[in-house]
């Protein structure tokens, strides 16, 4: 018989105190100068040292002193790192440990205004929001007393609210809007971030994503028409050429990086069985496209706003912890306690989020440092060996996370969604691979997420000034060859972070240190597809492409991602047109000057709510 969960989460036992822990100040040396600057600029409290921060956060969300000590040891050894809201606010009264949310808009004026109000509350706390607009009737459809103006003007209001709240807050709120590929306004929605056209129908401060269905992709493959349907009646409003719309989407992604793509049928097929049986479904994602949780009206006629409760394992330190018993369970206990704390202290303006968190208790255990791990071992990302490590790592993480969910369900009770269907699970979802742009810097400068490194040397601007960051594994290799010199690094800078020109490196070594734009993106999709089977939510996957990429190759990368079961695609990061021009013709006998780094680059805004 399943244990019954309490109607409200039971309060945590009195938190351990940092004074109860044994701290090792020498572990400061595991952070790079850049990591120390980042932590100091953003996350340390007044008068706090690095180890104090790790102890504060560990104690805030530990079961007891022994658990807090294990969490501190793991965090200070850079084995894992919580998402930045947990680092900033854990153990304090100044904010919440969760700041990433997903919600849906109902097809009524009351529903639209209610979502606006909720988003104001969420953004005022620096939250990142993903909002689904696909339920709202399209322009010209009948409503009481006339016809609707469609979704675009309402999204424009959300754009203004997001900007207003962000400018009045210390931490900037961000938002993304999602729409179904079959919504009648999909073509105008695709253009909302372009500055040209009627300003009143643009939303330049919002990000956007599209829910792409299997039916649409099959229409693209067959070259047939595709029906755009009323969200209210499901009647066909009009038909469009599927391939032409797909081409516009891909061109938009190449030019601007967006829209994000959510392969919505793949997502809902992967929904936990107990949630499918309750009639729940996913209709949106977040700002980073890795969170896939149910939103909107549920089977109890209650409104759900999903929350993202996140921490990430550091795969660069895999050899230190992968055989350590109980490590992943310790992190899952930590996340469960973070979630309980949020449910208990979130304000009334977040009641939908509190309700969703209580019902499903979903968390997102992610990773970072995959490329750094490979480079430390001399393994190219474009290799069968990388595929093998990828599969083994995620198989182990999923197995241990599943086991922890069962253990905690027996100890604390299953989440209500699971309990209703007789399932022994504390968490409905357990795994989500967030971007980790900030916490990877703290974790010794390891590579972000499952991403390839963008360059082997780059300059990063901080609140304390600019700092040059070099790939430590490349530096070690160059030192072994007596080539770790200023001249060598200057030549790498001149070649945009690449080492392909260095004669002192073997072809294998050059392959190990290829940068994101040098790696064949088919390998990125291949690795993402391989690990997808072990990820119950999704993963933030970027594609890195030249501006003059062959259009067929652009199509096939996205097509293969869908066919192989990748649930979502984040940014399409493209080199600038001006940079691509360096590949122009050179007269016979002329010596080509090395291309200089461009003065400007495309910025792809990253939401700090989940990294």
Indicate the DSSP class of residue 257: S
Phi/psi at 211 (5° precision): -80, 110
- Is 290 assigned a catalytic role? yes
The answer to whether residues 154 and 136 touch, using CB atoms and an 8 Å cutoff, is yes
CA distance 83 to 10: 24
The answer to whether residues 107 and 232 touch, using CB atoms and an 8 Å cutoff, is yes
How many CA atoms, within 13 angstroms, populate the side-chain half-sphere of residue 280? 31
- Is 415 assigned a catalytic role? no
The answer to whether residues 178 and 262 touch, using CB atoms and an 8 Å cutoff, is yes
Tokens 């309750």 appear where? Answer: 278
CA distance 94 to 142: 47
> Parallel, antiparallel, or unpaired for β 128-132 and 174-180?
parallel
CA distance 129 to 242: 29
> Kindly report the CA angle at 234 between 231 and 235, in degrees rounded to 5?
120
Q: Which residues have a Cβ under 8 Å from the Cβ of 346 and sit 6 or more positions away? A: 96, 353, 354
Please choose, from the candidates 602, 603, 583, 604, the residue with its C-alpha nearest in 3D space to the C-alpha of residue 593. Answer: 583
Phi/psi at 229 (5° precision): -120, 150
- Looking at 290, 303, 382, 496, which residue is catalytic? 290
- Looking at 286, 337, 456, 471, which residue is catalytic? 286
CA distance 451 to 542: 8
> Kindly report the CA angle at 316 between 332 and 37, in degrees rounded to 5?
90
CA distance 330 to 407: 11
Token pair of 433, please? 């691979």
- Is 286 assigned a catalytic role? yes
CA distance 316 to 380: 15
Element (H, E) at 38: helix 33-42
- Looking at 59, 100, 125, 288, which residue is catalytic? 288
The answer to whether residues 456 and 470 touch, using CB atoms and an 8 Å cutoff, is yes
CA distance 500 to 503: 8
Q: Which residues have a Cβ under 8 Å from the Cβ of 283 and sit 6 or more positions away? A: 104, 132, 134, 135, 178, 211, 264, 294, 295, 296
User: In terms of residues, how long is the chain?
Assistant: 611
Please choose, from the candidates 413, 331, 416, the residue with its C-alpha nearest in 3D space to the C-alpha of residue 366. Answer: 331
The answer to whether residues 505 and 499 touch, using CB atoms and an 8 Å cutoff, is yes
Q: Which residues have a Cβ under 8 Å from the Cβ of 308 and sit 6 or more positions away? A: 83, 98, 100, 101, 102, 286, 291, 364, 432, 434, 609, 610
Token pair of 251, please? 């061109």
Q: Which residues have a Cβ under 8 Å from the Cβ of 491 and sit 6 or more positions away? A: 501, 502
Catalytic residue numbers read 286, 288, 290
């Amino acid at each position: 018989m399943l244990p019954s969960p309490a109607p409200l989460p039971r309060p945590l036992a009195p938190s351990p105190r940092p004074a109860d822990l044994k701290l090792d100040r020498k572990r400061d040396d595991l952070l790079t100068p850049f990591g120390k600057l980042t932590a100091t600029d953003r996350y340390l409290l007044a008068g706090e040292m690095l180890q104090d921060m790790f102890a504060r956060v560990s104690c805030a969300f530990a079961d007891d002193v022994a658990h807090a000590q294990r969490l501190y040891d793991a965090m200070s050894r850079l084995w894992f790192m919580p998402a930045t809201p947990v680092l900033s606010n854990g153990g304090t009264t100044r904010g919440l440990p969760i700041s990433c949310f997903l919600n849906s808009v109902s097809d009524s004026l009351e529903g639209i205004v209610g979502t606006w109000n909720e988003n104001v509350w969420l953004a005022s706390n620096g939250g990142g929001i993903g909002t689904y607009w696909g339920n709202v009737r399209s322009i010209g459809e009948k409503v009481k007393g006339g016809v609707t103006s469609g979704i675009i003007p309402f999204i424009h209001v959300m754009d203004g609210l997001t900007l207003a709240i962000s400018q009045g807050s210390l931490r900037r709120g961000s938002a993304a809007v999602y729409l179904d590929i079959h919504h009648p306004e999909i073509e105008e929605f695709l253009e909302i971030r372009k500055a040209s056209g009627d300003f009143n129908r643009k939303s330049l401060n919002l990000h956007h994503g599209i829910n792409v269905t299997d039916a649409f992709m099959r229409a693209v493959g067959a070259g047939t028409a595709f029906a755009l349907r009323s969200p209210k009646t499901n009647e066909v409003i009009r038909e469009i050429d599927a391939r032409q719309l797909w081409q516009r989407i891909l061109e938009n992604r190449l030019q601007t990086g967006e829209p994000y793509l959510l392969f919505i049928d793949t997502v809902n097929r992967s929904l936990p069985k107990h949630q499918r049986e309750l009639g729940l479904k996913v209709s949106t994602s977040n700002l980073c496209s890795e969170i896939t949780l149910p939103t909107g009206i549920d089977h109890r006629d209650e409104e759900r706003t999903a929350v993202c409760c996140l921490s990430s394992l550091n795969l660069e330190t895999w050899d230190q912890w992968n055989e350590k018993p109980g490590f992943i369970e310790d992190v899952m206990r930590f996340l469960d306690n973070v979630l309980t704390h949020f449910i208990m202290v979130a304000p009334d303006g977040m009641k939908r989020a509190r309700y969703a968190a209580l019902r499903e208790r979903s968390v997102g255990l992610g990773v970072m440092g995959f490329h750094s791990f490979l480079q430390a071992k001399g393994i190219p990302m474009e290799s069968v060996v990388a595929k093998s490590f990828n599969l083994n790592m995620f198989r182990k993480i999923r197995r241990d996370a599943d086991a922890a969910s069962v253990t905690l369900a027996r100890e604390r009770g299953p989440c209500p969604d699971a309990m209703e269907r007789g399932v022994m699970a504390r968490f409905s979802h357990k795994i989500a691979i967030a971007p980790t742009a900030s916490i990877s810097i703290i974790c010794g400068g390891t590579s972000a997420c499952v991403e390839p490194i963008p360059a082997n040397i780059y300059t990063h601007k901080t609140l304390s000034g600019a700092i040059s960051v070099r790939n430590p594994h490349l530096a070690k290799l160059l030192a072994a060859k007596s080539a770790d010199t200023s001249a060598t690094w200057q030549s790498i800078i001149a070649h945009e972070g690449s080492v392909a020109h260095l004669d002192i490196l073997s072809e294998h070594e050059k392959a190990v240190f290829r940068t994101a734009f040098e790696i064949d993106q088919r390998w990125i999709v291949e690795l993402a597809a391989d690990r997808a089977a072990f990820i119950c939510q999704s993963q933030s996957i970027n594609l890195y492409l030249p501006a003059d990429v062959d259009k067929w190759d652009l199509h096939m990368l996205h097509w293969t991602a869908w066919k192989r079961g990748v649930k979502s695609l984040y940014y399409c990061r493209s080199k600038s047109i001006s940079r691509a021009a360096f590949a122009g013709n050179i007269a016979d006998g002329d010596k080509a000057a090395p291309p200089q780094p461009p003065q400007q680059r495309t910025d792809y805004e990253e939401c700090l709510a989940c990294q």
